Amino acid sequence: MDESINTKEKRIKSLLAFSMGMISGEDGKTLMEKHKQAIENITPFDMLALEDKQLEMGITTHEIKRTIGKVLNIFGKYLQQYKWDKPKQGSFLYYLMQENRALENHLRQTTNFIKKINSINPETPEYIEALNNLKSNIVKLKEFNTHYIKKENILFPYLEKLWKDYKPLMVMWSLHNDIRKKIKFIEKLLNYENSNLKEINRALGELFFLLHGMIFKEEVIAFPIASETIKEEDWEEMHKQSFEIGFPFIDAPTKVKKENILNHLLSSKFLENSVIDLGTGKLNIEQIILLLNTLPVDITLIDENDNVKFFSKPKDEIFARTVAIIGRKVQNCHTPESVHIVEGIIKSFKSGEKKFEHFWIQMKGKFICIQYYALINENGVYKGVLEVSQDITDIKNLSGEKRLVNL
């Protein structure tokens, strides 16, 4: 066996023993002394492999998250010593890191408002002003969700195809959700008449810990590994896709011209004049694409092997989706907290127990209905799932009648 591989395997085994000891509540100082050599030589790749092995062993996402802060507090300075080529200006990773710098500035400003409300009389106008500024900054933080959506819908799909041990990405996604929940909780807390300063300070401290911790996990672990595994042409494509989601907290860069898919398809002599017989009519490629993208719904098609095969692009898209998810396992499109629900639906469709399922949620002032249909061919064979999401806010408010003659 190659000595470097042998050394790495020994190091990961030692790191795993250390982290499992931390989870079990063993004495940290004793563990550090025992596994000192492995800890001092840890790399981002080791961290990824370590967490993947924990998940394979059945350690839950919750357990990993519970101790990850303590573990990284010990591993941190050694992980930071890893040398990697920082992303070039104008690249996908470059803008993610620029967003992090802008977030850090925002958090510094927010800290000033927190200090003010802790140091002045609550009855004064200065306190009210500082509290309102703090509320505004917390609301502003919700915009940074775009950063996490880009990771989940562009970066993660690429890494899932390249990394054998990609499962830790789901832990990171779960931490995204923790941040989202904490921001919502603090927003409510600040507007609650009877909330006390001690509770506010504790919640803000937890949020800052999550946000700074995420920046560290990105820039010391995930981004260095990504920079060494993703090809240059893929980075360029990822940057193009990022314009479909956005650039929080920074000025958006000049948009990269992206080839129109419809024009690309129609440039083919064969496709330009080809017509597809759909049984109830014949349509050309342009008509089919226009039909699917004009429907006021988000459509996603999953095949019989649980792979994402297609999604529509309506004008008012409800959920952010990019072409990076094509070919992705649908299970990887959901967080650890909800993936079991998705798997349950698919299992019931495959067994024939169900052919339809639906949910409805309230999101950003809209009432969203999400429906799942089993795709069954004429021979009764399961061929996948059709997911249809629709904003039904206005539909719910309809009453009486509006006939053609009233137009």
Output b/e per residue, 66-97; b: 16+ Cβ within 10 A.
ebbeebbebbeebbeebeeeebeeebbbbbbb
Helix or strand (DSSP H, E) at 358:
strand 356-363
Output b/e per residue, 263-276; b: 16+ Cβ within 10 A.
eeebeeeeeeeeee
pLDDT attached to residue 1: 41
How many of the other CB atoms lie within 10 Å of CB of 377?
9
Write the pLDDT tens digit of every residue in 236-250: 999 999 999 999 999
How many of the other CB atoms lie within 10 Å of CB of 306?
17
Percent of the chain with pLDDT over 90: 80
Write the pLDDT tens digit of every residue in 48-104: 999 999 999 999 999 999 999 999 999 999 999 999 999 999 999 999 999 999 999
| Number of residues assigned to the chain | 407
All residues at 6 or more sequence positions from 127 whose CB lies less than 8 Å from its CB, including other chains = 116, 117, 120, 121
Specify the higher pLDDT residue, 273 or 155: 155
How far is the CA of 148 from the CAs of 215, 257, 356, in angstroms? 11, 24, 31
pLDDT attached to residue 402: 86
Mean pLDDT for the stretch of residues 3-25: 84
Write the pLDDT tens digit of every residue in 219-228: 999 999 999 9
Write the pLDDT tens digit of every residue in 261-272: 555 555 555 556
Write the pLDDT tens digit of every residue in 354-389: 999 999 999 888 999 999 999 999 999 999 999 999
Res 310 pLDDT > 70:
yes
pLDDT attached to residue 7: 86
pLDDT attached to residue 6: 57
Write the pLDDT tens digit of every residue in 196-231: 899 999 999 999 999 999 999 999 999 999 999 999
When computed from its CA atoms, the radius of gyration of the chain, rounded to whole angstroms, is 25
Residue 333 to residue 156: CA distance in whole angstroms: 9
Picking from 333, 309, 293, 302, the residue whose alpha carbon sits closest to that of residue 153 is 333
Vertex 312 angle, CA 306 and 314, to 5°: 150
Quote the mean pLDDT of the chain. 91
Picking from 284, 282, 317, the residue whose alpha carbon sits closest to that of residue 299 is 317
Res 399 pLDDT > 80:
yes
Write the pLDDT tens digit of every residue in 326-364: 999 999 998 888 899 999 999 999 999 999 999 999 988
pLDDT attached to residue 2: 45
Res 273 pLDDT > 80:
no
All structural domains of the chain: 3-79 (no CATH), 92-242 (1.20.120.520), 295-396 (3.30.450.20)
Structure tokens at 253: 């860069």
Q: What is the pTM of this model?
A: 0.87
pLDDT attached to residue 274: 82
For residue 119, what pLDDT band results from cuts at 50, 70 and 90? very high
Residue type, 314: P
pLDDT attached to residue 5: 44
How many of the other CB atoms lie within 10 Å of CB of 309?
14
pLDDT attached to residue 261: 54
pLDDT attached to residue 271: 59
pLDDT attached to residue 265: 52
